Amino acid sequence: MNQQTSILMADDEPKMRELVRLYLEKEGFKVSEAGNGQEALDLLQKGSFDLVILDIMMPKLDGLTVCKEIRKNYDLPVIMLTAKGEEIDRVLGFELGADDYVVKPFSPRELVARVKALLRRAGAKQTVSNNTLMTFPGLVINYDAHEVEVEGNKVGLTPKEFELLTFLAKNAGRVFTREQLLEHVWGYDFFGDLRTVDTHVKKLREKISRFGEAAAYISTVWGIGYKFEVPR
């Protein structure tokens, strides 16, 4: 972390933005503020950011819509903020590509800890240089280009879906429990639950099966978890 690490905070509550900004600036982060979803997208187009914090309930464009737009054009961590704690909101947020989810009211120190954890994982992902191209029958994973092709067709994945597929592929044949996948893909300090893994596996299978039988690569090992297995 350094003075150049830039964070975009989008929330329609000025006091909330100010509180979060003060805590983040105290840790040396540069913080830009947006009061609604459209303003957040405008700032993203004009500037360069390392992480985005999005409130779900915002005027003009809600946080879920903004998150969806971010995933179309940017590869950066997204933390969702909301006063609603229902499971449907949390699951939908993850399906749209959010990396973490914080329910209001929350501790600003906890939010800062999550920001740091996500930035560490994002930085570690960028340093990976080995096995940048993995090829399997009907499936190609290009780590450097962050691209996946199934039967020659490019498949659009969220950063977390791509990271999950890459991790499993690099450890083909090995079974991982949901707890292990949360630790390796989301990080040991991720504040989520095991259903997060199931949700991402489901979406990943749906996307890579549109152009072929690539979904068969991700096998469910009942009672244990998942593994990447090359079909015979």
The overall longest dimension of the chain from CA atoms, in Å, is 58
Between 188 and 111, name the one with better pLDDT. Answer: 111
Amino acid at 130: N
| pLDDT of 84 strictly over 70 | no
Q: Mean pLDDT over residues 177-205, rounded? A: 80
| pLDDT of 89 strictly over 70 | no
Shortest CA distance to 115 belongs to which of 60, 171, 77, 146? 77
Alpha carbon distance 6, 3 (integer Å): 8
pLDDT at residue 12, as a whole number: 93
State the pLDDT confidence band at 1, using cuts at 50, 70 and 90.
very low
Contacts of 192 (CB under 8 A, 6+ apart): 94, 100, 101, 182, 186
> 152-168, pLDDT tens digit by residue?
899 988 888 898 999 99
| pLDDT of 192 strictly over 70 | no
Domains of the chain: 6-126 (3.40.50.2300), 133-228 (1.10.10.10)
State the pLDDT confidence band at 128, using cuts at 50, 70 and 90.
very low
Alpha carbon distance 121, 116 (integer Å): 9
Q: What is the DSSP letter of 149?
A: E
